[in-house]
Structure 1
Amino acid sequence: MKLLRKLFGTKHKVAPVKPAPLPVAEVKPPKPVITLDVVEQTHDENELLKLASEGATSQLRQAAAEKIQQRERLEQLAKTAKTKDKNVFRIVKAKLDIFRADDARQAEFETSALRLCEKLEKHAYLEADALFKARLAILQQEWELLAAQVSETLTARYQAALAVCEAKIQAQADAIAAEEERITLDQQARELASSAVDNLQQLGRELLAKAHIGDDEFTAFNLKVQELGQAMRLAANRAIPLDDLNKSFEQGKQQLLNLLDQIKTSGTLTQLSEQIAQADNSETAQKLRAKFNQQLNQAKQLVADLPELITAAKARVDDWFAGWNTKEQAARDALRHYSELTRKGLWAAEQGFVRKARGIHKELQEKQAQLGELPKLLQAKWEEFETQLHKLGDWHEFAVTPKKEALIEQMQSLIGSKMAPEDLASKIHDLQDSWKEVSRGGQQQDDDLWQQFQQASAQAYAPCKEFFEAQATARDNNLSKRRELVSQLQTYLADYDWDNALWKDVEQTLKVARQEWQTYWPVPRKAGNDIQKEFENLMEQLFGKITAELDRNKQAKQHLIEQARQLIASDDLRTATEQAKQLQAKWKTIGKSWHKEDQQLWQEFRQQCDALFARRNQEADAARQQRQAQVEQAKELIGKLKGYAGLALTELDAAKAEIEATKLAFDNLSLPRESAKALSEQLQAALAAISSTRQSARVQAENQRWQDLFGAAEAIRQYELALIAASDDQAVTVIAAKAAAEEYLNNTSRWPTGTLPLLQQRLAKAPTLEATGEAERAQQLRLLCIRAEILTGKPTPESDKALRMNYQVQQMQQAFGQRDSQIEALVQEWIMVGGVSNPDYPALLARFQDSRASA
């Protein structure tokens, strides 16, 4: 009892405790004395733990505690020394704090490593673009700072994600290498095809450079052609566009094979030229020349520049035919002279000039001996001449009158004939020619018969005259229409507004004029020829206008092509693209050019525009990728902010600068317009989540402070109750209760404002409490419950309504209606009231807590 009064200074009366009789026991030998030296020499953790817990002196226990290093032993010792030896507990707690600090640091490493793994796993889902590898390198550098302190599980997770990223990079590298290899192989295939075409032409030049070719050389040339064909097939296996080279090779190959066949059949051009030079007649030479020209044309299609050997062979052939043509021309001149003499002889015979006809006959006989065999036509004329000359000799031996009468009858029979005018006129002309033939060479003329023949001819020709007069009228009308058309064309050329010409209409006019001109036919020959020259001159002028326009359009389109070509190298791609569109619009306003060239110009212009637009699309793709990278970076920053929302309040406070830096990094991004709003909303949502987490943590911390406050008050109350009910054999319970209250106060870091000093005061006053004052203290708590219920508007139980009413009346009388305004003041009063036992306290505390929660 003296010990309790000495420890707590209480005024409680403690009944004297009678000493209990000591049990009789055997006397044991004294235990060995353990000194500090023994502790220094002990390294067994279990033995040190036992010394630190049960050592005889505080120094011994502290020395043993200092030597313990294992965490498990320290934790066991902390539980034992917490209520027994503060000094040992302090030593143990300091060592455990080091372990806890290490745990915290390790937890931070693990958390950082976990975030890094999550980043890397997200990164693994991205495309392996230009930034992919750079970002991966940054993540790897961050991991290297943590690798030594990270668990094997996270290391394995990191390695798995890293393997995926590296596989993507390797796949991208493999794709690039494959593409480069494909481009190289395609280029090699194209070069192989081009080389095959060049070698084929070179083979053609070698073939043409040979004057004579043997069978072995034919075989060699064919083998070379086959080898080149194999090279082209190998190049074609790459499935690249080689249409132009294939076409050139196939054409050259066919030409070369045709040339080989011709040479094998007829010989080389040199051999053919030698055969032509040795030909003894034109027929043979012409046959050989046809083969020569056919082979020469094949050679010209095969190679651009013919060898000198071929040029010499062609010159040899041309010289031979030039000489032969000279001989033939002389022969033709001789035959022409012979033909002319034959014609003159026939005329002389028909006119009855016997002497002249016989002189010509003699001269013809002399020339015939020089010419040799005559052509069939000249031979027929010669025979006709001899016949006429023979008739001329015996003319008077025959009667002419019956023949004339017969001709008159035939002419009279044509009068009123239904024959076509052209046929009738031809028949009349034939009868008139027969009359002349019968009358030729006669010394007498029968006027009566002639008059009859002439009259019959006039009557028979009357229908023909009308027909031919109608034809003449039609020719004159056609001539008049042609002249009118020429006049219209002259007016058209002079008056048309050529500066604003509609060239499609001009072309139509040219076409219609030509068609209309052809419909005005026939026309008088001489006048028709004159007007034809005028018409052709006008058509040539009109066509010249169209030609000039086509040339102007060609030049204008070439100028647009050059402008489009210059735009490709422009730095301002947007302006260049707009200008290209303007050029395209301008192209549409330009009329057509020459038909063969117009499509080529359009293809060239389109090629330049396509190149510009391809460059624009390439840069647009790059910009799109850059914008996508900004979006991905924004998403990564948002994800990082979302990760903060799951942290504790202390961690959030520590990461405040990092959160602000992340938000600033997001604000500095150049986000595309279509994504900016949604991403900004996600950012605000993440920030709101962080704010909500922080607010929730603050509320929770505030609630925890109130819980700690009432928990500490409860611990002190238990200590107070232990003091009130304590006896000498309950000293350990009192000490434990006090230690528990002190530990509560010492281990709680944050308290509601101003409450810790009140708790400390209450703890210090606990030994002065008397059991007799418990009812008064319980009444104080009951009154505090009523005041709290009045403050918060909560109802009071029926048992205390009278007390509430009495309190309110007193307040009105004494304080002129003043009321409590803050629940915190009532809480401070509550925690200062102690020593209330369990029968009353729990119910009162529940009422007070209910009111406080509603405040």
Structure 2
Amino acid sequence: MIFDRFFKAKHLSSDPEVRLTAISSLSLDKPADKQALHELAFNDSQANVSVAALDKLNSFPLWLKASETAESSRLKRLAHERVLAEVNNPNSTLLTQADFNSFVAESKNLVLLEQMLFSNQRLQNNDALALSVLLKINKVNTNRLYFKDHANQAQQQVIVARTDEINELSKMLKFANHDVVINAIEAKIENLRALAALPIKIKQDATLVISKLLALKDNNDYEQLYEGKQQLCQEFEQYKAQFNVLDEETALLLAEKYLRVNESVEKRLAALKEEWQNTNELKLTTNALSEIEERFKEVKQQIDAILASIDDPSLLAQSKLLSNALSDISLDIEDAKKRPQTVAHKRTIKQIYANIETYQGFLEQLPNVRETQENAKALVIKLQALSDELPVDELADLVKQLKREWNKMLSECSLPLPEPILAAWQGAEKKHRSKITAVQEELKQQEKKTLAKLKTVQRMINQGSFKPALSTFKYAQKMYALLPDKNQKNLSKLYLELHEKATELQELQAFIAGPRKPAMLEEVNALALQQNVEDIPGRAQSVKTLRAQWNELGKLGTDEDDALNKAFDDAIEKAFMPCREHYAEQDKVRAENALQAKVIIDELAELAKHENTATIGRALSAINKKWRALGNLEQSERRKLQKTYQTALKPIQVRLDAFYSDNLERKQALLKKAEQLDAVEDVSNAAESAKQYQQQWKEIGFSGKQTDDELWTAFRKANDAVFAKISEKRDAEASELSQAKTEFYTDAAALSEQLKTATELKDLSDFSANVEVLNDKLRDIPTRQAKTEQQKLDSILVQYKAKQLEFEEQKNTAQWTNLFDTLAAWTDDSLPESAAELPNKFQQLMKLSSNDKGDDKRKELTIQAEIIADLPSNKADEKERKLLQLQLMAARLEGSDIPTVDALLADWISCGPLLKTDQALLKRLKKVILA
């Protein structure tokens, strides 16, 4: 039996090392070998043997099957890693493109597909396949992350089309960089919002229509009520067609309320209809009377025309036709009287009847009209012939006499005069009346002014102001002399009284001024001798005062007084000479200032030639400053120079005004744009636009003193609002990032703690799911800001793998310890209770074991195991060890399989229950297995 085990096919050897070595000798071209490789790949107890067999088979489907069905966790993990390696290798020879597409399309491993979606270049290059994988995964976070980092325009459009949450669409909008996609997102958000708001809008609109219909009931105008009802009912029917978006209760309530209100409006219409019909009948009466009045007006105009051309021999025939027309109008009035009438209608009918009667009378008296018109024309000619040169009183009397004759003629005339004759009379009369009135008014005003002047003289005399009174009386005498006798008569009493008092005052003045004038002349002569004067204003004031005092003494009209007056004039002129020289010097300064002004004006003219308007403003400010700094100028010269300056300034100012106006418009446009940024949802774009607007603002330039500061304040306020929003957004993003990181580290700490406290593998049963949650939270953090967090996640995964290996080693150690404890307790034919916990293959070996192999066989197996494991044996067994070593070497030279430790252990167990002597061998075998 021992030889059978040594010489059977190597791939069937119980020694895994032998099986591992045998795999290289198996050929894929031989069905038996290929079947053996399949058996090793999926049924071998050693993961490294299965991996080698799979390598030999070199088939992606087999690797995939192993990753899904292998019992060994190690094999399953290794196969999974190999599958991932092949799938993620764009140059894989093991996995064709067709196989890759089939694998991705058929795979149900959503976790694997999600990993591939973000890391597999092969999948990412196939737009349709990648999109189908994304749709298969169907996770909101995955959709958003793929949209952000990998999706092209077409894929983004599909993702947008399949997303129906406004919050998710808003997040995608931040990452969209194609106008088509941006427009699609914005349109869908708007559509979703509109759909969400549609029930509310329809309810509000329908309620508004019902409210308008209810309010319409208070209208007393039948036509407006009827037309308004028709329109509102039509609007409600349009909204009613959309009631399917409302809940049933709301739709029923609106319909019921509409029917109730509509019924009340119908009743109101019925109540107003009779009154409306009556009103319409009255309107027909009004229209009929209006038409009759128009016809009468036409006939009246023709009769007036006949009266104006009374000399025409055909008038008699025309008058008969017009009389018949008036009769027809009378018949139509009779018909109108049969219609419903108001008081106003009756009054109109009465008035038309009266007018018809009057004009029928005119037509009957036509033969007597010619003589009356001739008399009227003669009176008009007389009135027009009156000359405007006649005295006013005479002209007024003649006009009055002709007016009496005119009025008498009109009273005797049974027909009105033609309009041309009446207009000629009125025009001539108005002309003469205007002339008479104007002259009379002018004389009246002159009389009033003369009276006022005389009253002023009287008041001055009463107040003791004699000298001004005398001067004013001389002026009043001239005004009085210009008045006609009639007007002088009205003022004669007061005038004679004041004339007498003025004569008395002149005599008194001569008495007072006689002795004072010589004394004042001496004072002026003394002042004239003082030519070195420092106080020019004082000297000028003294001269002015002396002149005023001299003038107060008046002129007496005598030769002696005239000589004194001349001597005073000469002396006062000499006294004023220093002042005159000073003022001459000032004139010279003003002349120099005038020259400087002309220079400035020339500078202004040169400035007008400059093409750069932006620099003109500063230069103009400097020129204006120099102009304002000019000294005194002659008043007339100043006005002339100022006008010249303004003329030269005007074209420049026009250019500047146009420049400032253009700048103002551009700044106002920029301000409007800046103010509109407040409504832009993308705050980052708004902030970027605000920066551009600020730069444009600087480039525009000055826009005028009155507006520039105000515009800048408003513009800065609008920009500040945008920058405040971007600050808020950054704070919000920072807060969101901080929250995301806090949640990440909280979950990461929980995972670390789970790893730390785990004592066995089942304590980590949900660890992979928790890692996936943590990975999702990592994706919510921008990649550039998640390096530390990624390192933290990688560290946790490394710890997790180490923990898995640790638990697997503990499990293996525990299994081996349990095996050897069970073997130590196995001393008879019955199996220990602990044997039930052993792997099935060990249980089967113990059940099928026999006791005929003897103690020596166990010892031999133990020594062979020590040889293979390269562990020392007992000194007492050295001879036997050497012998067994030679046997193994010989077998190896002959090409036979060398037993493995596992195979030796199986044979050792097959020897049956342990004797007391076997316990020492068991301990030695345990050292080999656990080494």
TM-score range, shorter chain: 0.3 to 0.5
TM normalised by structure 2 equals: 0.40
